[in-house]
Homo-oligomer: A and B are copies of this chain.
Amino acid sequence: MCLMVKCAICVHLIYSDIVQKCREELKAIRETNPDLKPTLAIIQVCLCVIDEILRLNEDSRVHGIFLHLPQSFLSRSVRNAIKPQKDVDGIYFFCNTLLDAPLIGKMAVLVGVEGPLKATIQCLLQNNGMMVQTCQWSSKHLQKQFLCVVCYFQQQRAMLLCFRRDIWLNHKSDIEISRAQTPKPISQLAQEIGLLPEELEAYGNTKAKVHLSLLNRFQHQPNGKYVLVAGITPTPLGEGKSTVTTGLVQALSAHLKLNSFACLRQPSQGPTFGVKGGAAGGGYAQVIPMEEFNLHLTGDIHAITAANNLVAAAIDARILHEATQSDKALYRRLVPSVNGVRCFSPIQMARLQRLGINESDPSDLTPEEVRAFVRLDLDPEKVTWQRVVDTNDRFLRKITVGQANTEKGHARQTQFDIAVASEIMAILALTDGLADMRARLGRMVVGSNRNGQPITADDLGVTGALAVLMKDAIKPTLMQTLEGTPVFVHAGPFANIAHGNSSVLADKLALKLVGEEGFVVTEAGFGADIGMEKFFNIKCRTSGLKPDVVVLVATVRALKMHGGGPNVYTFHIFTTFYIYCIFERLQLVYHYGCSNLKKQIQIAHLFGVPVVVALNVFKTDTQAEIELVCRIAEASGASAAVQCHHWSRGGRGSVELAQAVKKVASQKNNFQFLYNLQDSIVEKIRTIAQKVYGADDIELSPEAQAKIDYYNQQGFGALPICMAKTHLSLSHMPEKKGVPTGFILPIRDIRASIGAGFIYPLVGTMSTMPGLPTRPCFYDIDLDPVTEEIKGLF
């Protein structure tokens, strides 16, 4: 009889259903009691509604109810029938007019007689609960908006699924939830968490850059607890690490009254307009305003794009100029006589020193020295630097540039990568300050010369300009969660083809700001085998920070897939199957699926860090599945395994997780790296392949072997390893789910990001430029020119 409604037709259908049932009841009552007065008959009908409510109260799959009944059906007894439920946040009771919305309990019942349901729900969104909590920061937590999550299923499953999907799309998208919340002024948030006004650069009212000088001011302040959120091997839809991160800090701050900070990565605009949509979290565990988070933010990725492409333009222009000019002409132009005076710029002096030339007067160089100085002699075939663009533009995967007549036949083949895969993004993520960033930018190797020597950004003379372009990007951006707790957004995603962790600087600033008892929750991309491994071996090694707990996010959906369920493709029919159907496949989950979870827990234990498993519960999960997964996780060595309902309930839905994290973080751990930097490159790769991925061994292509020899010879051997591997499997084969064994990991090629500071083996076929699908997200995205509201961003 209930009651999931979306459009007039559905309402009518269900309403008729109830009315029909009521009429039958009424008819039966009247037949047995011909003298009964009409009011009593109505009471009887209400009782029938109450019966249905009581039944729903007991159904674990029901998070809330929409009632769409005639006014006369509404009575105190109906109201009283509704009881607090373990997984329902709150309730409004709408009477005749939609604006009359007293908070009556912990569950929402909408009764709108004639009004369209959309208006009803919008009205619900506008009526906030009045919960205000304070914690140590004396933060004023944002009021929480409640929204029923309806998940009741009847026999007519298909029909009801359709209703739910529509509601999902039309009535409570992430952007609508985000927009319904008014963020507090960013300056207020900054003040609450102890930032000084001069340490803040506001970008509008909801975003601000935070100055690095804070690190000096807080240099004697002990760090807070450091929590990493990682995941099991995910489906292409993601398993909700960002929502878990956000929900966890909401729970720690607003409910456990502990200072806490989330450190997230800025999403790429490519996927935002392509397939994936935004990355601000979702539901009631979001960073707001989500459109600011998902679009330009404070311009960091744009700055990276500009810096990256300035290097690329400098490379090709230099190749052309060297090819078309004599040594003398090049020297005259590179060290011009300005009113009779010639001198080297500081960056040219640095290059002379690297060349072993100790002259400072340009006229003192021998012709050989001039030649060495002016000719980078870049081998066009050996240029490794790519252009980037923050758009999913598949036609730029392989291109030929320089075909205009003005480039005199110096065409060459190259490619664009997605902007976040730029080495400059990795530098932003790993640097500890301006001086270090400038030095790393200068060390970036862009290719090699015809003698096989590496050529750097410093050689191109572009280092200072890059640092200037990146001077603002180096400052983390402060935003807030839906409950008004602080978030740093800094550095970028793509842990498969890049390093894909949030920035060292954001983590360091946050660890100071939360204080010794506080918590910083930072996120590593994709499965623990990729993002977490790089977090420990690269990021922690660089930063010197020691993690206290790993939160490992799992979903029943992904475990089912690992257990042999259909593979999940975005927008594929089976996706709908996973998202929108309730079905219990304990067999699948148990048989094989949890082996992936178990393996990922073991990986974290390799580093000596305890694990809390966070099961991100979806409406389609059954209680039996949830309990089974938690039981297996704890049996597999997790210090705790808890279910999380942050998506539908915000911080309150993650209180159990927060308590577990708090408890585990207080225990001592024995953090250690997986390999020593002094191990050979091959040894380091093999260690990761065997211990983390479960491979029998690795296999190097001749090209990879040659590169390794070259890097060893150049003295790059002692760098950590940043594997470029699919995130969809522990192995290099995306289709191998669960815990693949008995495979040899093929290293196709190997690169070096000397500025970022890692060696970068390519496993299998990894594309560094996504494409647009036939129907990209942008079809649904629009801007209302009057209200300036964005539609369709999710």
List A residues at the B interface (Cβ < 8 Å): 158, 161-162, 164-166, 169, 201-205, 209, 269, 273, 291, 295-296, 299, 302-303, 305-306, 309-310, 312-314, 316-317, 320-321, 325, 330, 333-336, 338-341, 345-348, 387, 389-404, 406-407, 410, 413, 415, 433-435, 437-438, 461-465, 467-469, 471-472, 571, 576, 580, 767, 771-783, 785-786, 788, 790-793
Cβ contact within 8 Å between B313 and A772: yes
CB distance from A594 to the nearest CB of B (A): 29
Which of A166, A209, A336, A398: most chain B Cβ within 10 A?
Answer: A398
CB-contact partner of A576 in B339, B347, B793, under 8 A: B339
Cβ contact within 8 Å between A399 and B399: yes
The closest CB in chain B to the CB of A292 belongs to B472
Cβ contact within 8 Å between A317 and B395: yes
Cβ contact within 8 Å between A309 and B391: yes
Which of A203, A397, A437, A773: most chain B Cβ within 10 A?
Answer: A203
CB distance from A415 to the nearest CB of B (A): 8
Which of A312, A325, A347, A465: most chain B Cβ within 10 A?
Answer: A465
Instruction: Return chain B residues, CB-CB under 8 Å to A391.
Output: 306, 309-310, 312-313
Cβ contact within 8 Å between B774 and A467: no
Cβ contact within 8 Å between A782 and B467: yes
Instruction: Return chain B residues, CB-CB under 8 Å to A302.
Output: 296, 299, 302, 305-306
Cβ contact within 8 Å between B775 and A333: yes
CA A162 to CA B338, docked complex, whole Å: 8
Cβ contact within 8 Å between B401 and A774: no
Cβ contact within 8 Å between A399 and B401: yes
CA A779 to CA B302, docked complex, whole Å: 22
Cβ contact within 8 Å between A785 and B435: yes
Instruction: Return chain B residues, CB-CB under 8 Å to A472.
Output: 296
Instruction: Return chain B residues, CB-CB under 8 Å to A395.
Output: 313, 316-317, 320, 401-402, 407, 410
12 of the cross-chain contacts (CB-CB < 8 Å) are A299-B299, A333-B775, A345-B779, A347-B782, A389-B389, A396-B401, A397-B403, A398-B403, A400-B400, A461-B778, A464-B778, A468-B790
Cβ contact within 8 Å between B783 and A464: yes
Instruction: Return chain B residues, CB-CB under 8 Å to A433.
Output: 785
CA A453 to CA B346, docked complex, whole Å: 57
Instruction: Return chain B residues, CB-CB under 8 Å to A202.
Output: 202-204
CB distance from A562 to the nearest CB of B (A): 25
Cβ contact within 8 Å between B158 and A340: yes
Instruction: Return chain B residues, CB-CB under 8 Å to A333.
Output: 773-775
Which of A335, A336, A348, A771: most chain B Cβ within 10 A?
Answer: A771
| Besides the known contacts A347-B779, A399-B402, A464-B792, 7 further A-B residue pairs in the complex with CB atoms under 8 A apart | A296-B299, A313-B392, A317-B772, A317-B776, A320-B395, A395-B407, A468-B782
CA A310 to CA B395, docked complex, whole Å: 12
CA A438 to CA B789, docked complex, whole Å: 13
CA A490 to CA B295, docked complex, whole Å: 20
Instruction: Return chain B residues, CB-CB under 8 Å to A291.
Output: 468
Cβ contact within 8 Å between A334 and B775: yes
CB-contact partner of A468 in B435, B468, B580, B781, under 8 A: B781
When A and B form their complex, which 4 residue pairs have the shortest distance between CB atoms, in order from nearest? A464-B782, A435-B785, A465-B778, A302-B302
Cβ contact within 8 Å between A273 and B393: no
Instruction: Return chain B residues, CB-CB under 8 Å to A778.
Output: 310, 314, 461-462, 464-465
CA A468 to CA B783, docked complex, whole Å: 6
CB-contact partner of A404 in B205, B398, B462, B467, under 8 A: B398
Cβ contact within 8 Å between A783 and B434: yes
The closest CB in chain B to the CB of A338 belongs to B165
Instruction: Return chain B residues, CB-CB under 8 Å to A346.
Output: 782
Cβ contact within 8 Å between B321 and A783: no
CB distance from A583 to the nearest CB of B (A): 15
CA A522 to CA B313, docked complex, whole Å: 33
CA A778 to CA B335, docked complex, whole Å: 13
Instruction: Return chain B residues, CB-CB under 8 Å to A471.
Output: 783, 788, 790
Instruction: Return chain B residues, CB-CB under 8 Å to A468.
Output: 291, 295, 781-783, 790, 793
CB-contact partner of A397 in B339, B399, B404, under 8 A: B404
A336 with B576, Cβ < 8 A, contacts A162-B341, A468-B295 known = no
CB distance from A459 to the nearest CB of B (A): 12
CB distance from A497 to the nearest CB of B (A): 15
CA A396 to CA B779, docked complex, whole Å: 29
The closest CB in chain B to the CB of A778 belongs to B465
CA A310 to CA B462, docked complex, whole Å: 28
Cβ contact within 8 Å between A295 and B779: no
A403 with B413, Cβ < 8 A, contacts A296-B299, A299-B302, A779-B348 known = yes
Instruction: Return chain B residues, CB-CB under 8 Å to A347.
Output: 779, 782
CB distance from A302 to the nearest CB of B (A): 4
Cβ contact within 8 Å between A306 and B296: yes
